[in-house]
Amino acid sequence: MKRIGYYPGCSLHATAVEFDTSLKAICQHFGIELVEIADWNCCGSSPAHNNDGFLAAALAGRNLVLAAEQGLEELVAPCASCFSRLKAAQHDLEHNEAWRAELEKRLQASYQSGVRIRSILDFLHAVIGLDALRDRIVGPGLAGLKVASYYGCLFVRPQEILGRQEQENPQEMDMVVNALGGQAVDWPFKTECCGNSLALARPDVAQRAIKAILDAALGVESDCIATACPLCHANLDMRQGRQGLKMSRALPVFYITQLVGLACGLPAKELGVDQHLVSTRSLLSAANLG
């Protein structure tokens, strides 16, 4: 059994609990043991790094210290924001000796570099693998389902930390969708801003951003959207009911882990697909899924 560290962050224990349950379900299915970091704390997103760089590095850094202490060589952080903060903290602590020394002093522990932090997409590719996904599809998998892969901002940016050249047209989620038998549509809004926390502070601005993404997904006739970030999911799923969006039809929004589970024939209930605001029922029954 493969063993990998798990940093759920606050979202996967609360607003995005179906991201957590679907991830656990597929891990069980593929024989992967998720080891939640004991005594983990907040990753700091987003207030910490907007106020105090060291605080941000220290908050996320403590989790890295714990992971190393608990013998975890790699860990998966499914929430895009957690992933980004952990990667940023690792980058900062490895480039800023003063911060590293300060962190070690305050924690009374030594910082070990080299914990491999995986995003959920990296996890699906490197830990499970596309071939394994293809092998475990039940029946036609997602056949006939046109999926708009929506990555949001944090899987591809910032360049100096993630080292990616390509920020506009990532392919990792599309490849997973295609491996599951679905059809990933080509669309130009994969990494466009979802409005983030402006959904609370400036709902008018966020609504414009959300509408642009949903319109673009409808424009290429997709059946649903796949996400890999709790905040993206919240904005795209929860706000479709708003007046002013004027959507021609509702667009179910899934976590990519839910789509993996559905294609592998896991029960819909276990994957939490009934916990979204936009109903997934008619789409799934039409596609013979769940």
Residues 190-209 that bind other proteins (CB under 8 A): 192
* Range in contact with other proteins (rule: CB under 8 A) among 91-99, 165-173, 237-245, 248-256: 165-173
Please state the closest distance from residue 208 (CB atom) to other proteins, in A: 10
Residue from 33, 52, 73, 168 that binds other proteins (CB under 8 A)?
Answer: 168
Please state the closest distance from residue 192 (CB atom) to other proteins, in A: 8
What element of type H or E holds 255?
strand 253-255
**Interface with other proteins, residue 70, by CB under 8 A:** no
What 3-state class would DSSP assign to 171? Answer: coil
Please state the closest distance from residue 166 (CB atom) to other proteins, in A: 6
**Interface with other proteins, residue 216, by CB under 8 A:** yes
**Interface with other proteins, residue 73, by CB under 8 A:** no
Conformation bin of residue 198: beta by default, left when phi > 0, alpha when psi is -120 to 50: alpha
User: What are the tokens at 199?
Assistant: 């959904």
In sequence order, which residues have a C-beta less than 8 Å from that of residue 288 and are 6 or more positions away? 139, 140
Please state the closest distance from residue 188 (CB atom) to other proteins, in A: 4
**Interface with other proteins, residue 274, by CB under 8 A:** no
Residue from 39, 52, 73, 166 that binds other proteins (CB under 8 A)?
Answer: 166
Pick from 17, 15, 90: nearest CA to 59: 90
**Interface with other proteins, residue 221, by CB under 8 A:** no
**Does residue 230 have a cis bond before it (omega within 30 degrees)?**
no
Residue number with CB closer to other proteins (28 or 169): 169
**Does residue 81 have a cis bond before it (omega within 30 degrees)?**
no
For the beta carbon of residue 41, count every other beta carbon within 10 angstroms.
Answer: 13
Q: What share of the chain is helix, strand, coil (3-state, %, to 5)?
A: 50, 10, 40
Dihedral pair phi/psi, residue 43, rounded to 5°: -75, -10
Q: Please report, for the chain, how many H helices and E strands are present, in that order.
A: 16, 8
Residue from 140, 158, 203, 219 that binds other proteins (CB under 8 A)?
Answer: 219
For the beta carbon of residue 33, count every other beta carbon within 10 angstroms.
Answer: 11
Residue from 15, 167, 171, 275 that binds other proteins (CB under 8 A)?
Answer: 167
Please state the closest distance from residue 83 (CB atom) to other proteins, in A: 21
* Range in contact with other proteins (rule: CB under 8 A) among 68-76, 90-98, 111-119, 163-171: 163-171
Please state the closest distance from residue 153 (CB atom) to other proteins, in A: 13
- Tell me the per-residue interface mask from 117 to 156 with other proteins, x by CB under 8 A, - otherwise: ----------------------------------------
Instruction: Name the packing angle between helices 230-238 and 80-95 (round to 10°).
Output: 150
Residue from 51, 112, 113, 169 that binds other proteins (CB under 8 A)?
Answer: 169
User: Which residues form the interface with other proteins (CB under 8 A)?
Assistant: 166-169, 186, 188-189, 192, 216, 219
